[in-house]
Copies of this chain bind each other. A is one copy, B any other.
Amino acid sequence: MEGLTINEAAETTGWSPRMLRYIESAGLIEPPRTPKGYRIFGPGELQRLRTLRELLARFDCALSDVAFARRYASDSELRAALEHWFERRPERPEGVASDDWLTWEQRKHERLLATDTPPRLTETTAA
């Protein structure tokens, strides 16, 4: 056999066989099958599976997050729409007077619309 079966793959990747099937059902892997339908895991797939574990742990995110990020990365329409949404971050800076901020907001919005401003990555620490 030119690769590992699901139980062997489970052992070398740290995933359970159940989870390997689940990950496949989530669309994140697509191991080839023998003519009789047995999954075979080649070295590339095993590597991807190990890396996936690392990613989830290191960035504390979920399988569904990775699945959506994949969609985001490959669907340019989705990406464009979301990026556009991200850029419009109405925030009131400290120095703006209280009854001016609405107007300021509007002007900022207009500026953004008009001048094709590059993405503003204001990483505000959310609770």
Contacts and interface: CB of A to CB of B under 8 A. Distances in A.
Interface of A: 2-3, 12, 25, 27, 29-32, 42-48, 50-52, 54-55, 58-61, 64-66, 68-70, 72-74, 78, 81-83, 85-86, 88-92, 96, 98-99, 101-102, 104-106, 108-109, 112-113, 119, 121, 123-124, 126-127
Copies in the complex: 2
Contact of A42 (B44, B60, B105): B105
Task: Specify which of A43, A86, A99 lies most central, judged by the most chain B CB atoms within 10 Å of its CB.
Answer: A43
The interface residues of chain A, by DSSP majority, are classed as helix
Contact of A124 (B30, B55, B83, B108): B30
Given A2-B99, A123-B74, A112 B51 contact: yes
